[in-house]
Structure 1
Amino acid sequence: MKTPTKISKQATNNLTKNLEKIIKQIGGGKLKIALVNATKLEKSFPKSSSLFNIIGAIYFKQGRKKTAINYYSKALTIEPNAFESLYNLGVALNASHKYREGLNYLQKALVVNPNSFHTHHTIGSCYKNLKDSENALVSYTRALSIKPNQVSVLNDLGILYSQLGENKKSQECFKKVLAIQPTLAMAHRHLSLVTDYQKEKTHLYELESLIKKQMNPIDEIQIRYAYFRAASLEGNINEAFRNLKIAKDLRKTHSKYDIQNELEVFEKVRNFHKKCEKTNRKTDLRKSHVKNIFIVGMPRSGTTLVEQILGSHSKAFSGGEVSFLGNELYPKFSQNKTGPNFHSYNTFLTLYEDYQKFIKQITIDAEYFVDKMPTNFLWIGFINKTFSNSKIVNVRRDPMAVVWSNYKHYFSSKELNFTNNFDDIIEFYKKYESLMNFWKLNIDQEIYEIDYEQLTVNPDYEICELLKFCGLEWEESCLSFYKKDGLVQTASRDQVKKPIYQGSSSEWKKYSNHLELVEAKVKSSLAS
């Protein structure tokens, strides 16, 4: 039976009513029912751009981004200039780390609706992901010119300014947010990161008032984090630690995190390599590709400092924490109880090419690309077998400094939920050490070790040796990395905007009265 070229008025009315019903179901969180009802309409309305757009939106909300992208694309084949489909496709591509493609569709959406603050806001997000802070600032500013009091844009603009080291401008954004929503916990936490409480007390008093009130756990976690930082800078160590511990315990409970699931992934990765270590290493050295430098280590071990040093070289580009390898590989090792359902590194021969395509979006023309995702230590076997022109640098730091620094920081990423508990941090650390020792014995590639404390004591020598290993010549700019403009999107952004200094590894000692048991566990488990 052929599909009629024209849909009757009654059929169109029925479609409209059905779509309205489905939109209500989506709004009510009934995604499965909404999807069933929407897909039933596909056969009757194969030329409905609105229907395909709504099906795409359901899949996107379910986290099925690839399918969502397919449906948004179908919608655009029917109505190429449909604003909602252009916008939704741009959002989905950006969320799928296809930033350039997403930006292309979002800019098309702006042509259709130049006054869409949502589109300007998301374009700002795309530019930020592409490390283009200048255009990100322009887009956020345009969004605010349309809706000056939009909290989500002010918040993102404040974060961007803080990552650029412009703390005063960042403060102004978060203060505007709190003038609109005085109890917004997230904004209080962000404001605490850019406030010098030895000079400014107003926000400290606000936090003291807030922690006395009844809050939901999510808000309480963020407020107590903010108060920890404020009280710590004020010198009230006992009160600071008490609030940090309450926040950490709440977050551990709320996350329902089980360290055993994490540790099982470590073992699956190790066992996979044992089975597949005879796979020949890829040796295709194409000159058109950049050389990859992977900086790994425990989170908070100094990987950002090493990245900023290397990224200050004229031949290198700082890529920050690139999530590509983890996004591609972690699900394959975590979702199957017995390990991945493949048995050879050859299954991933395209991993290198896909990674190069991914980083090409953000790489300014450079010979070297620096990826400082610390947890890439899990994937050293894959790096060794598929990245023939790679260098691997492992950063080490005093174990107690690493344990404390992980505990005291608020990490948004669920992948770092182990940092909410001292015992979990120590267990994770032990597995990291064990896996690094395994790689050294079982791959045919040198892993360069750099010691954070030695780097701060003797930077000239340590940087010179690091550059030699990476195949780079000495440049003075690597010593003055802190003068370089650009985004630093990690918890170390304040430290790396200053010259190299000593003493940060002893910061935990201020809290030593609260850390005696932790120190004993670290000494017995990690001191060697």
Structure 2
Amino acid sequence: MTVEEALRQAYAHWNAGQAPQAEQRCLQVLQVLPGQPDALHLLGLIAHAYGKPDLAIDYLRQACLPPTAPALYRSNLAEMCRQKGLLAEAEQHARRATEQEPQLVAAWSNLGIILQESGKFEAGLQCLERVAALQPENAEVFNNLGNTFVRLGRLDQAQESYARALTLHPSYAEAHSNLAYLLHDLGRYDEAIAAARQAIDINPQLTDAYFNLAQIEISRMRYAEAMRWIDALMAFAPQHVGALTARALLLLKADHLDQALACARQAVELMPNSANAHNVLGQILQALGQHDDAAGCFERAAALPGTVAEEALVSRALLRLESGDKEGASNAFAQVLERFPGSVRSMAARADTKTYRADDPDIAAMEAALVQARKPSLSQQMSLHFALGKAYLDTHDSERAFLHLNQGNALKRATFAYDAGAISTWMCSIGDAFVPALMDKFKHAGAPSARPVFVLGMPRSGTTLVEQILASHPGIHGAGELGALRHAVDAAGKFPDALLHWGSEDFAAIGRNYLARTERIAPDALRLIDKMPSNFLYAGLIPLILSGARIIHCRRDPVDTCLSCYSKHFAGEQGFAYRLDELGIFYRDYQALMERLRQVLPADRLLEVDYESVVDDLERQARRMIAFLDMPWDEACLQFHQTRRVVRTASVSQVREPIYATSKGRWHRHAAQLGPLLAALGMDLPAGPTA
């Protein structure tokens, strides 16, 4: 048999679906002619089909070594490099293929996709438009054009391209999946879910469709549903890097940091050149307090080809802000804008680092971004509205501030379901559960430890300020907002219903669970502050599970508190905060619950601190809190704004400054905009020029 005959047989076997026989013939050819390009090319295709991408790339690299290697081989190598995340090499091979054979549609198509994934959108668009001109009935090219238009923010053209692709090929699963991604960006979640499900019905193993469904559910804060889709994807693609990074982010949101870290590290190991994997790993390391390593991940993500460089650079800037390096953060944001002029993400993210003046150029730039023909994505629109709301509050332009705050809050509120009545009923049931008899019966049941200190209350009520003051003491560590208490309680049963069935050992077990979750945090600290505001829901339970724990309840003027909540685009779940009436209802429910718990909590375990009192007399209140924690006084508590520690809350900028009284009674100048909130709080709209 000649080499030519062996190769013909090899390709015939391959086309007939007989991969083992095809592989055998190719290996026989290579025994006679090592480096024979056609045999190496086919071996590469076989390896790729069997899920061995590294081996496939190795074969194709060898196949493309001769200058006379066909352009198709270089085009196929480019696509395999793209799938492996080797975008720079992929672009090199694809360009060589187009130069070698200018009419090779596959090469232009591959180059367009590679350029798109590298963030070179305009260049990618030119390639794909060339393919469309060569093959106007090719549904695939219109699908790829849609993807590029999405990246360019030309969403109307993207939708038209996907529609053209689906007209040409109604059962094109990838186009249905990509349309789902676009509809998600437009905030049309129900339609997006339907499109992604249709893609899965057509192709049950289309990984992107599962991934898109997970992203949609994450945007709706339905994390359990998102994890269900990721689990379904990983059932048949356990090493899908996108799925691993999505799982890592979901585990991060659930405070399962060790599992999240393992997922992210696996993703990076599988695809070392994935910018997104490095970016997600950075976010998890940041949550774990490993800030130097996190910064390295963000810098690596920004240096790699892809579309996440801007996000990674913003994350690096925010990391510096959280670490107390305000000047470094400011410079880092400036670097983002230098590399990405007009970066909406950067301008919105740095809003809390500055006090705006009316002539601040960021205001005009953000306003322009909202009205341009190429609208930002829904999430970016939200960020811009909140940033502009903050800017106009700074400049005392109440009307414009609430024009943007109302729009930003409405966009956010439309992304999830929230039942204010159900929440009211639940919070009332918590108050009903903690009766004096229960508190007396189990008052000595809890795990004994004087280390935990719970600083709780409504968000934006001064909890971060109190933590910063206390954490300036050398014997006290501020751990930030921990989810440990919620997880410990959830592991024991449904709260508060399960209280009826718990005995002394159950309460002690929850306490031990909490201590186990926090023991590795600053183990030498005599006091550990858990500053999760929503722990007020468990305030009645704390003395029963941790007999030595202390609670500091932060209070602030109700309207100032609610206004501050309404002006923040929270990173976490604060479903009550995005409508003024629902915000007022929630505040009253919180107030009623704390009033009931105040009657049954041990007096020596509860200290209530008013934000306004701290502003008026810092030293007196600081000494009062330190004494309550049974710690010796330290003057560093009065210089809290100079304490270098990580702060990961919406108040990150405020606690770096000395106390000012400007935030007291701030709501009065905006009273005319707060009618629904005041009504829900049972207050009348004040009369006078302000109203």
TM tier, shorter chain? Answer: 0.7 to 0.9
Distance 2:419 2:559 in 1: 22
Mark the CA change 1:133 to 1:31 in structure 2 (over 3 Å): closer, same or farther: farther
Distance 2:463 2:290 in 1: 22
Which secondary structure state, in structure 2, belongs to the residue aligned with residue 406 of structure 1? Answer: helix
Q: Which amino acid aligns with 2:651?
A: S
Distance 2:232 2:571 in 1: 29
**Cα distance, 1:316 vs. partner?**
1.1
Of 406, 416, 422, which residue of structure 1 is paired with 2:580? 422
Whether the 8 Å CA contact 1:265–1:333 is kept in 2: the answer is no
Equivalent residue number for residue 501 of structure 2: 344
Whether the 8 Å CA contact 2:446–2:508 is kept in 1: the answer is no
Distance 1:403 1:135 in 2: 37
**Cα distance, 1:377 vs. partner?**
0.8
Of 446, 455, 463, which residue of structure 2 is paired with 1:303? 463
Distance 2:243 2:348 in 1: 35
**Cα distance, 1:432 vs. partner?**
1.3
Equivalent residue number for residue 505 of structure 1: 664
Q: Which amino acid aligns with 1:136?
A: A
Whether the 8 Å CA contact 2:465–2:655 is kept in 1: the answer is yes
Q: Which amino acid aligns with 1:363?
A: A
Unmatched 5+ residue regions in structure 1? 1-7, 39-49
Which secondary structure state, in structure 2, belongs to the residue aligned with residue 269 of structure 1? Answer: helix
Post-superposition Cα deviations, 1:346-370, rounded to whole Å, max 9, x if no partner, equal 4454322222232234435312110
Equivalent residue number for residue 45 of structure 1: none
**Cα distance, 1:435 vs. partner?**
1.0
Q: Which amino acid aligns with 1:208?
A: E
Equivalent residue number for residue 221 of structure 1: 382
Whether the 8 Å CA contact 1:455–1:462 is kept in 2: the answer is yes
More deviation in 199-208 or 108-117?
108-117
Distance 1:249 1:70 in 2: 32
Distance 1:64 1:254 in 2: 14
Which secondary structure state, in structure 1, belongs to the residue aligned with residue 665 of structure 2? Answer: helix
Distance 2:410 2:586 in 1: 18
Distance 2:323 2:590 in 1: 31
Post-superposition Cα deviations, 1:145-184, rounded to whole Å, max 9, x if no partner, equal 3348613312322322232344454455555656777787
Mark the CA change 1:165 to 1:31 in structure 2 (over 3 Å): closer, same or farther: farther
Distance 1:89 1:403 in 2: 33
Mark the CA change 1:290 to 1:140 in structure 2 (over 3 Å): closer, same or farther: farther
Unmatched 5+ residue regions in structure 2? 1-18, 22-45, 52-82, 84-172, 179-194, 685-691
Post-superposition Cα deviations, 1:72-108, rounded to whole Å, max 9, x if no partner, equal 89999xx9xx999997886665454333454466557
Whether the 8 Å CA contact 1:316–1:370 is kept in 2: the answer is yes
Task: Say whether residues 1:242 and 2:403 are aligned partners.
Answer: yes
**Cα distance, 1:317 vs. partner?**
0.9
Equivalent residue number for residue 410 of structure 1: 569
Q: Which amino acid aligns with 1:280?
A: F
Mark the CA change 1:388 to 1:71 in structure 2 (over 3 Å): closer, same or farther: farther
Distance 1:151 1:351 in 2: 42
**Cα distance, 1:479 vs. partner?**
1.0
Distance 1:32 1:270 in 2: 47
Of 286, 296, 304, which residue of structure 2 is paired with 1:138? 296
Of 422, 425, 431, which residue of structure 1 is paired with 2:589? 431
Distance 1:303 1:315 in 2: 19
Mark the CA change 1:507 to 1:206 in structure 2 (over 3 Å): closer, same or farther: same
**Cα distance, 1:501 vs. partner?**
2.6
Q: Which amino acid aligns with 1:159?
A: L
Whether the 8 Å CA contact 2:460–2:561 is kept in 1: the answer is yes
Whether the 8 Å CA contact 1:284–1:388 is kept in 2: the answer is yes
Q: Which amino acid aligns with 2:537?
A: L
Q: Which amino acid aligns with 1:153?
A: A
Which secondary structure state, in structure 2, belongs to the residue aligned with residue 479 of structure 1? Answer: helix
Equivalent residue number for residue 153 of structure 1: 312
Distance 2:453 2:555 in 1: 17
Equivalent residue number for residue 272 of structure 1: 433
Distance 2:592 2:491 in 1: 22
Which secondary structure state, in structure 2, belongs to the residue aligned with residue 492 of structure 1? Answer: coil
| Identity rate, percent | 22
Distance 1:321 1:133 in 2: 17
Post-superposition Cα deviations, 1:363-388, rounded to whole Å, max 9, x if no partner, equal 35312110111111111122121112
Equivalent residue number for residue 475 of structure 2: 315
Mark the CA change 1:64 to 1:251 in structure 2 (over 3 Å): closer, same or farther: closer
| RMSD of aligned residue pairs (Cα, Å) | 4.5
Which secondary structure state, in structure 1, belongs to the residue aligned with residue 553 of structure 2? Answer: strand
Mark the CA change 1:181 to 1:29 in structure 2 (over 3 Å): closer, same or farther: farther
Q: Which amino acid aligns with 2:393?
A: S
Distance 2:489 2:407 in 1: 34
**Cα distance, 1:476 vs. partner?**
0.8
Post-superposition Cα deviations, 1:107-145, rounded to whole Å, max 9, x if no partner, equal 577667655544433332222112232332233223333
Task: Say whether residues 1:326 and 2:483 are aligned partners.
Answer: no
Of 339, 351, 354, which residue of structure 1 is paired with 2:513? 354
Mark the CA change 1:285 to 1:221 in structure 2 (over 3 Å): closer, same or farther: closer
Mark the CA change 1:144 to 1:386 in structure 2 (over 3 Å): closer, same or farther: same
Mark the CA change 1:260 to 1:9 in structure 2 (over 3 Å): closer, same or farther: farther
Show the 5 A alignment for 1:31-46. Answer: none
Whether the 8 Å CA contact 1:237–1:511 is kept in 2: the answer is yes
Distance 1:353 1:65 in 2: 28
In the superposition, the TM-score normalised over structure 2's length comes to: 0.60
Show the 5 A alignment for 1:84-483. Answer: 94-100=252-258, 102-103=260-261, 115-147=273-305, 150-174=309-333, 186-198=345-357, 201-213=360-372, 215=375, 218-274=379-435, 277=439, 280-283=442-445, 291-327=451-487, 329=489, 340=497, 343-346=500-503, 347=506, 349-363=508-522, 365-414=524-573, 416-444=574-602, 446-483=605-642
Mark the CA change 1:464 to 1:146 in structure 2 (over 3 Å): closer, same or farther: same
Mark the CA change 1:473 to 1:331 in structure 2 (over 3 Å): closer, same or farther: same
Distance 2:412 2:245 in 1: 34
Which secondary structure state, in structure 1, belongs to the residue aligned with residue 473 of structure 2? Answer: coil
Distance 1:241 1:83 in 2: 42
Whether the 8 Å CA contact 2:583–2:677 is kept in 1: the answer is no
Equivalent residue number for residue 41 of structure 1: none
Distance 1:377 1:26 in 2: 42
In the superposition, the TM-score normalised over structure 1's length comes to: 0.76
Distance 1:73 1:278 in 2: 50
Whether the 8 Å CA contact 1:276–1:345 is kept in 2: the answer is no
Find the structure with the greater CA-based Rg.
2
